[in-house]
Amino acid sequence: MAQLRPRKGFNLGTLPRLPASFDEPAARQWASDLLRVLGRGIQPETRVISTTLNPVAVGANTTAEQTFSVPTLQTSDFVSVSAPSATAGVGIVNARVSAVDTLAITFANTTGGSVNPGSETYLILVVAGNPI
């Protein structure tokens, strides 16, 4: 489960107090106020990981998923990957966490020949997931 951290300056003392008479309208109002406060004050953890990845060649006119070891990733995390340079005819079409500590990137090759994206330092934006 993702860690939710209070936003800087958020005071848990601002949470709404339970009403003295807890009838249905009061309960609805309290829940609404609580969700409003929590929605403003708690954000999922985000971080950027910089790591060297060495993808293998991607065959002609195809897509291929490749996996890489990236410590600290959780299967509930959302990831977005950015390559530092462009390789003609090759693009990243999907990124996901396929297992704990494992990043899966799907590369597309739109050329008529095999292309190797090469070893580079990639940036990975990670948003800690919180499955419901």
Residue 129: predicted pLDDT:
74
Residue 65: predicted pLDDT:
98
CATH number of 46-127: 2.40.30
For the chain, the domains span 4-43, 46-127
Residue 113: predicted pLDDT:
96
Its sign, for the CA torsion 86, 88, 92, 98, is negative
For 64-96, letters b (16+ CB in 10 Å) and e give: eeeebebeebeeebebebebeeebeebebeebb
Spatial distance between the Cα atoms of 9 and 1, rounded to a whole number of angstroms: 24
Tens digit of each residue's pLDDT (9 = 90 or more) over 6-30: 555 555 555 566 566 656 676 667 6
pLDDT band at 2; cut points 50, 70, 90: very low
For the chain, give the mean pLDDT: 82
Q: Which residue has the higher pLDDT, 107 or 47?
A: 107
For 108-121, letters b (16+ CB in 10 Å) and e give: ebeeeeebebeeee
Reduce the DSSP state of residue 76 to 3 states and report it. Answer: coil
Let me know the angle formed at the C-alpha of 5 by 101 and 67, rounded to the nearest 5 degrees: 15
Check whether 41 has a pLDDT greater than 60.
no
Residue type, 3: Q
Q: Give me the residues paired with residue 81 across strands.
A: 124
Q: Biggest alpha carbon distance in the chain?
A: 73
**43 class by beta-carbon count within 10 Å (0-12 exposed, 13-18 middle, 19+ buried):** middle
Tens digit of each residue's pLDDT (9 = 90 or more) over 65-98: 999 999 999 998 999 999 989 999 999 999 999 9
Q: Which residue has the higher pLDDT, 45 or 41?
A: 45
Kindly state the tokens that stand for 61. 């006119």
Tens digit of each residue's pLDDT (9 = 90 or more) over 60-72: 999 999 999 999 9
